[in-house]
């Protein structure tokens, strides 16, 4: 069924306890598809390149907040198959600088209502995020950051080793530990969410508002008419677009190359791994920036463990064994109880890192072409906020106040937002 | 994990080296003559190619720098050459204008 504007009106079936019971009676064989798989149209008002969380959130907010529904999301693989499905699902907003704090805090606030907003359980769990300090310098940096957070209205507090021990009894806080724990910052509103569900929830919501989600559709070129973008060449043919928003973590330099400009970005592998599932043992998120490991426990019982990037540029979605060795060494020093756990899976994703470890969200040298990229190692926590501000930027042609500082021009003007080593670092 | 051949020490695990980023970015002779855009380009803009990448490494053994030509998808290293030398043969630096 089509409205006069040619935009399909989709009636989304609402998920509830009643729909669950009703479908249980039908042996769960009659659940409707969560979104359509339409053929691409010849032209859209907006084409979003990249069907990860950020791209899908952008499409959702474009349709819902700005009434722009003639939108396609083009994904070369499957939804959320890139970094959205590869991260360690940590959400927090305790960033040092005002610009980042405002952006990530907006995202955290959106996360707090997202399951209701999307009628999709994203399993958001505000279990608290601790960042450990292992030496005096760590403590000073941590105090500075906690104070900055509080001035920005972000919940953040400093814990003593005794207070940490009460929250994380299995953490080795012995003064003779190799990595002595002098204190920690705690953001109680931080936590984790189911990463796939965030992508799927936004996809279902966007689809319900008429957005075409087109998977297995790789963008191979960006067509320009002079200074203005006209559309995109894809593996499924040419698609014209009045505006194009590129949200492709791991490939933004490649896409910028197609449009004819360069980015201050280098792509690196970032790995994570999970252990065999065990009974609930670790109820918060613990991050250590000095020894570079972070760990939480999923609802399935697996420990989800992350570390840092490989130093060299790479587009291969795998990393070095040395990084795994380092992170597991640090993990076992901090949590001796984990020493006999077996690791079940390990994987890598490609993260696009800016020189100041902050994203680029906004206009490009090409008219009507917008980029949202360079989230580095910490984009998942920003998913709804990123979509929110990027949708605003595309809809109005001007940045939202929250992403106005995150321009590409800052690498000319020097107004960098230096979050390297300042933002509790490990993401 | 990469096997990198130091021109002086021979093949070693990448843990015996430190990465130095994109090669052949010359510091401008007269920085004060540059526009902010040109200076920003020198400082921050990178080719970051998917494929052939010319990059610098330093050997933690002999502490000497050298250039490597590596494919960023397959990790295959096709050339190792000394500082000040041009990349051998048909290898061209991607991305950068001029
Ligand atoms: Zn050497």
For the cut 50, the answer to whether the pLDDT of residue A1 exceeds it is: no
| Cβ–Cβ gap A313/B44 under 8 Å | no
pLDDT > 70 fraction of chain A, expressed in percent and rounded: 96
Residues of chain A with Cβ-Cβ distance to B74 below 8 Å are 316
For range B40-47, the mean pLDDT: 96
CA B57 / ligand 1 centre spacing (Å): 10
- The predicted structure's pLDDT at residue A3: 40
Let me know if residue B89 belongs to a domain: no
For the cut 80, the answer to whether the pLDDT of residue B98 exceeds it is: no
| Cβ–Cβ gap B55/A263 under 8 Å | no
Most distant pair of Cα atoms in chain B: their distance: 43
Closest chain A residue to the Cα of B48, Cα to Cα: A266
Which residues place a Cβ less than 5 A from the ion ligand 1? B 6, 8-9, 59, 61-62
| Cβ–Cβ gap B40/A411 under 8 Å | yes
Let me know if residue B60 belongs to a domain: yes
- The predicted structure's pLDDT at residue B92: 64
Residues of chain B with Cβ-Cβ distance to A414 below 8 Å are 36, 40
Segment A348-358, tens digit of pLDDT: 999 999 999 99
- The predicted structure's pLDDT at residue B94: 53
Question: Among partner residues B41, B48, B74, which is closest to A266 by beta-carbon distance?
Answer: B48
Most distant pair of Cα atoms in chain A: their distance: 73
| Cβ–Cβ gap B48/A267 under 8 Å | yes
The tokens describing A384, both together, are 């709804």
- The predicted structure's pLDDT at residue A421: 60
For the cut 60, the answer to whether the pLDDT of residue A2 exceeds it is: no
Phi, psi for A169 (deg, rounded to 5): -60, -25
User: How many angstroms separate the CA atoms of A386 and B51, rounded?
Assistant: 29
- The predicted structure's pLDDT at residue B42: 97
For the cut 90, the answer to whether the pLDDT of residue A209 exceeds it is: yes
Segment B64-83, tens digit of pLDDT: 999 999 999 999 999 999 99
Confidence of residue B95 (pLDDT cuts 50, 70, 90): very low
Asked whether A21 and A217 are in contact (CB, 8 A), the reply is no
CA B7 / ligand 1 centre spacing (Å): 7
Q: Residue A39: is it exposed, middle or buried by C-beta count within 10 angstroms (0-12/13-18/19+)?
A: exposed
- Local structure of B3: helix, strand or coil: strand
More confident residue, A285 or A419: A285
| Cβ–Cβ gap A411/B44 under 8 Å | yes
- The predicted structure's pLDDT at residue B88: 84
For range A287-306, the mean pLDDT: 93
- The predicted structure's pLDDT at residue A40: 97
**A412 touching B (Cβ < 8 Å):** yes
Asked whether B76 and B68 are in contact (CB, 8 A), the reply is no
Q: What is the mean pLDDT of chain A?
A: 94
Phi, psi for A289 (deg, rounded to 5): -85, -30
For range A129-137, the mean pLDDT: 96
Let me know if residue B95 belongs to a domain: no
Question: Among partner residues B40, B45, B72, which is closest to A315 by beta-carbon distance?
Answer: B72
Please report the ipTM that was assigned to this predicted complex.
0.92
Q: How many domains does the structure of chain B reveal?
A: 1
Least trusted range by pLDDT, from A179-183, A315-319, A352-356: A315-319
In chain B the first and final C-alpha atoms are separated, in Å, by 34
**B67 touching A (Cβ < 8 Å):** no
Question: Among partner residues B21, B40, B48, which is closest to A265 by beta-carbon distance?
Answer: B48
- The predicted structure's pLDDT at residue A271: 94
User: How many angstroms separate the CA atoms of A359 and A252, rounded?
Assistant: 11
For the cut 60, the answer to whether the pLDDT of residue A274 exceeds it is: yes
| Cβ–Cβ gap A313/B43 under 8 Å | no
Let me know if residue B27 belongs to a domain: yes
- Strands (E) in chain B, as ranges, are 3-6, 10-13, 17-22, 52-59, 65-71, 77-82
Let me know if residue B35 belongs to a domain: yes
Locus of tokens 């998808």 = B73
Residues of chain B with Cβ-Cβ distance to A316 below 8 Å are 72-75
Let me know if residue B98 belongs to a domain: no
**B76 touching A (Cβ < 8 Å):** no
Pick the closest to residue A75 from A183, A197, A224, A212 (CA basis): A212
CA distances from A244 to A39, A228, A352 (A): 18, 10, 20
Pick the closest to residue A84 from A332, A407, A384, A396 (CA basis): A384
DSSP A345: E
Confidence of residue B1 (pLDDT cuts 50, 70, 90): confident
The tokens describing A291, both together, are 């020894």
Residues of chain B with Cβ-Cβ distance to A263 below 8 Å are 45-46, 48
| Cβ–Cβ gap B44/A314 under 8 Å | no
Q: Residue A117: is it exposed, middle or buried by C-beta count within 10 angstroms (0-12/13-18/19+)?
A: middle
Let me know if residue B13 belongs to a domain: yes
Closest chain B residue to the Cα of A261, Cα to Cα: B95
For range B85-96, the mean pLDDT: 69
Q: What is the mean pLDDT of chain B?
A: 91
Domain region containing B50: 3-82
**A311 touching B (Cβ < 8 Å):** yes
Segment A160-169, tens digit of pLDDT: 999 999 999 9
Let me know if residue B62 belongs to a domain: yes
For range A24-37, the mean pLDDT: 93
| Cβ–Cβ gap B46/A264 under 8 Å | yes
Asked whether B47 and B93 are in contact (CB, 8 A), the reply is yes
Closest chain B residue to the Cα of A410, Cα to Cα: B40
| CATH number, position B63 | 3.30.2270.10
**B40 touching A (Cβ < 8 Å):** yes
For range A394-410, the mean pLDDT: 98
Sequence-distant (6+) residues with CB within 8 A of A182 are A133, A134, A135, A136, A138, A139, A161
């Amino acid at each position: 069924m089509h409205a006069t504007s040619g935009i399909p009106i989709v009636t989304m079936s609402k998920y509830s306890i009643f729909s669950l019971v009703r479908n249980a009676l039908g042996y769960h064989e009659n659940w409707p598809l969560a979104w359509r798989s339409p053929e691409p149209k010849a032209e859209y008002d907006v084409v979003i390149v990249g069907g990860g969380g950020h791209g899908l959130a952008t499409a959702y907010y474009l349709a819902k907040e700005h009434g722009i529904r003639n939108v396609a999301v083009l994904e070369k693989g499957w939804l959320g198959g890139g970094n959205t499905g590869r991260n360690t699902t940590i959400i927090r907003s305790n960033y040092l600088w005002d610009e980042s704090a405002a952006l990530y805090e907006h995202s955290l606030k959106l996360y707090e209502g997202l399951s209701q907003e999307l009628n999709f359980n994203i399993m958001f769990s505000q279990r608290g995020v601790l960042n450990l300090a292992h030496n005096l310098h760590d403590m000073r940096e941590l105090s500075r950051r906690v104070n900055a957070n509080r001035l920005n209205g972000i919940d953040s507090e400093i814990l003593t080793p005794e207070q940490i021990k009460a929250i994380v009894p299995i953490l080795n806080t012995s003064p003779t530990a190799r990595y002595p724990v002098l204190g920690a910052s705690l953001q109680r509103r931080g936590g984790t969410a189911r990463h796939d569900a965030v992508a799927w929830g936004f996809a279902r919501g966007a689809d319900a508002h008429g957005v075409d989600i087109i998977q297995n559709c790789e963008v191979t070129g960006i067509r320009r008419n002079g200074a203005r973008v006209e559309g995109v060449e894809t593996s499924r043919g040419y698609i014209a677009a009045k505006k194009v928003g590129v949200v492709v973590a791991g490939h933004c330099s490649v896409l910028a190359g197609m449009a004819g400009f360069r980015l201050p970005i280098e792509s690196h592998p970032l790995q994570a791994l999970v252990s065999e599932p065990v009974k609930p043992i670790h109820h918060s998120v613990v991050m250590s920036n000095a020894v570079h490991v972070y760990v939480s426990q999923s609802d399935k019982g697996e420990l989800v463990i992350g570390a840092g990037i490989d130093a060299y540029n790479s587009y291969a979605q795998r990393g070095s064994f040395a990084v795994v060795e380092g992170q597991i060494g640090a993990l076992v020093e901090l949590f001796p109880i984990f020493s006999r756990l077996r690791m079940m899976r390990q994987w890598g994703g490609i993260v696009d890192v800016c020189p100041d470890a902050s994203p680029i969200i906004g206009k490009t040298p090409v008219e009507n072409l917008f980029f949202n990229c360079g989230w580095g190692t910490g984009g998942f926590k920003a998913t709804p906020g990123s979509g929110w501000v990027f949708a605003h930027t595309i809809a109005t042609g001007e940045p939202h106040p929250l992403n106005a500082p995150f321009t590409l021009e800052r690498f000319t003007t020097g107004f960098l937002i230096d979050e390297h080593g300042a933002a509790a670092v490990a993401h | 994990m990469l096997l990198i051949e130091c021109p002086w020490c021979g093949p070693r695990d990448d843990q015996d080296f430190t990465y130095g980023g994109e090669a052949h970015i010359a510091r401008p002779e007269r920085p004060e003559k540059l526009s902010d855009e040109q200076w920003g380009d020198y400082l921050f803009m990178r080719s970051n190619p998917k494929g052939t990448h010319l990059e610098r490494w330093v050997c933690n053994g002999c502490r000497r720098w050298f250039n490597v030509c590596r494919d960023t998808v397959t990790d295959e290293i096709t050339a190792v050459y000394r500082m000040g030398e041009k990349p051998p043969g048909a290898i061209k630096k991607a991305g950068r204008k001029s």
